[in-house]
């Protein structure tokens, strides 16, 4: 039949709209795979020394090809994820080991965890790459938080020593330089302030110290506005000795300033003290504390004795650790007394295997001051000291 020999009709081409959708889906899939591959491969971009250090440590512990190494049998993104997981596990192991060593192994095993040091004195022989804080920053782990505790004063009271001692604790991370946020840089905003902070993991405390906060009128309200629960620490010292130390520091920078005696009095003949001079004004602790108590309860402020920080550093650090809710890890095993400096030093500093004392700017020799001037200052400060003892419930023994 004629109909049986006719050629079958050709298949119709796909509609143009379906073809376009197919191309879009294919392109999207390829782009997604590329982005995923780039993200998964991020660990491979870590600096070489960190990778080498990690690999060496892992080999020493019998881990094979290094904790940043991956099996060649795995796809790249799986190998990267495995390396990242092993690195985080190692970070947690280091933190546990440091806590155990600090708690039970004595001064030779002083933990090297602690704060970032943007402006502090460096540690010596420890490997910065091996500290939890450094690895945390490189990995982008943890988060930058506003400080839960602030050392607010006082200048020349012993705040730097306290911060350096606290940084030995593995659960304390602190800014090395003084941020001066609540007195000089407040207009920069909390986001700027937070960005100065080191990264912390869960359970770690973020801290900073700026001694001028204690005498800054606006500081209490500003810190309260940030967080009403902020814990405050004030290191205080005999106000007469503190004033002389303050003057000594200024004298080292400006040798041509007037004598201590001439700056102390408005009128030497009448013996009228010049309370407008900052070296004198800072030591009127009761006056400044009244301003803080308008915004914070007395139980939220810890007063550390600058004298006892020298004579019994472990005892004062014990009080501070209790106040911050930390385990008492820093003990007398961590300190030795430096007779040349005249104050205690760390047997091993943060991230270092060497003893560490504060820098040359600490422990300066005070100039000789007329004893009549010293006695007049003691008489001036006595009623303020007594009021301060009453307000804090502590007798610091300055009178």
Catalytic positions are 156
Question: Which residues are annotated as part of the binding site for 3'-phosphoadenylyl sulfate?
Answer: 156-160, 237, 245, 362-366
What whole-number distance in Å separates Cα of residue 69 and Cα of residue 83?
Answer: 6
Ordered DSSP codes for 64-79: SS-TT---TTS-HHHH
Q: What is the 3-state secondary structure (H, E, C) of 314-376?
A: HHHHHHHHHHCCCCCCCCHHHEEEECCCCEEEECCCCCCCCCECCCCCCCCCCCCCCHHHHHH
Judge contact between 115 and 174, C-beta under 8 A. Answer: yes
Pairing of strands 205-209, 272-273: unpaired
3-state secondary structure of 61: coil
Q: Which two tokens stand for residue 95?
A: 């933190």
Catalogue the E-assigned strands of the chain: 143-144, 149-153, 172-174, 199-200, 205-209, 231-236, 265-267, 272-273, 301-305, 335-338, 343-346
3-state secondary structure of 153: strand
Catalogue the E-assigned strands of 84-230: 143-144, 149-153, 172-174, 199-200, 205-209
Strand-pairing partners, residue 301, are: 232
Judge contact between 133 and 200, C-beta under 8 A. Answer: no
Judge contact between 302 and 234, C-beta under 8 A. Answer: yes
Categorise residue 13: left if φ over 0, alpha if ψ from -120 to 50, beta otherwise.
beta
CA angle 291, 293, 284 (to 5 degrees): 50
Q: Which two tokens stand for residue 236?
A: 């205080």
**DSSP letter assigned to residue 43:** G
What whole-number distance in Å separates Cα of residue 3 and Cα of residue 63?
Answer: 79
Categorise residue 342: left if φ over 0, alpha if ψ from -120 to 50, beta otherwise.
left
């Amino acid at each position: 039949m004629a109909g049986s020999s006719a050629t079958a009709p050709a298949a119709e081409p796909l509609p143009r709209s379906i073809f376009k959708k197919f191309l879009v889906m294919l392109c999207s899939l390829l782009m997604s795979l590329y982005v995923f591959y780039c993200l998964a491969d991020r660990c491979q971009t870590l600096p070489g020394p960190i990778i080498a250090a990690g690999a060496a440590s892992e080999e020493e512990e019998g881990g094979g090809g290094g904790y940043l190494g991956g099996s060649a049998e795995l796809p790249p993104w799986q190998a990267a994820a495995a390396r990242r997981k092993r690195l985080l596990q190692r970070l947690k192991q280091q933190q546990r080991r440091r806590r155990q060593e600090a708690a039970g192994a004595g001064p030779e095993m002083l933990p090297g965890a602690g704060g970032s040091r943007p402006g502090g004195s460096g540690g010596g022989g420890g490997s910065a790459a091996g500290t939890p804080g450094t690895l945390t920053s490189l990995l982008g782990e943890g988060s930058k938080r506003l400080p839960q505790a602030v050392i607010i004063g006082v200048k020349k009271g012993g705040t730097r020593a306290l911060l350096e001692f606290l940084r030995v604790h593995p659960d304390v991370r602190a800014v090395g330089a003084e941020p001066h946020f609540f007195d000089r840089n407040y207009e920069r905003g909390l986001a700027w302030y937070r960005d100065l902070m080191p990264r912390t993991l869960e359970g770690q405390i973020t801290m900073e110290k700026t001694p001028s906060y204690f005498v800054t009128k606006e500081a209490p309200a500003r810190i309260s506005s940030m967080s009403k629960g902020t814990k405050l620490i004030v290191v205080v010292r005999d106000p007469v000795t503190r004033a002389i130390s303050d003057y000594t520091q200024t004298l080292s920078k400006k040798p041509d300033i007037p004598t201590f005696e001439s700056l102390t009095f408005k009128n030497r003949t009448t013996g009228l003290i010049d309370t407008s001079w900052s070296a004198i004004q800072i030591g009127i602790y009761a006056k400044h504390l009244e301003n803080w108590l308008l915004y914070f309860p007395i139980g939220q402020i810890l007063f550390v004795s600058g004298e006892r920080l020298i004579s019994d550093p472990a005892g004062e650090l014990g009080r501070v650790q209790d106040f911050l809710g930390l385990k008492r890890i820093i003990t007398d095993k961590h300190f030795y007394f430096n007779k040349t400096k005249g104050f205690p030093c760390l047997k091993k500093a943060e991230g270092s295997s060497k003893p560490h004392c504060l820098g040359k700017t600490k422990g300066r020799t005070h100039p000789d001051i007329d004893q009549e001037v010293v006695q007049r200052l003691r008489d001036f400060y006595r009623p303020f000291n007594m009021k301060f003892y009453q307000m804090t419930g502590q007798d610091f023994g300055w009178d």
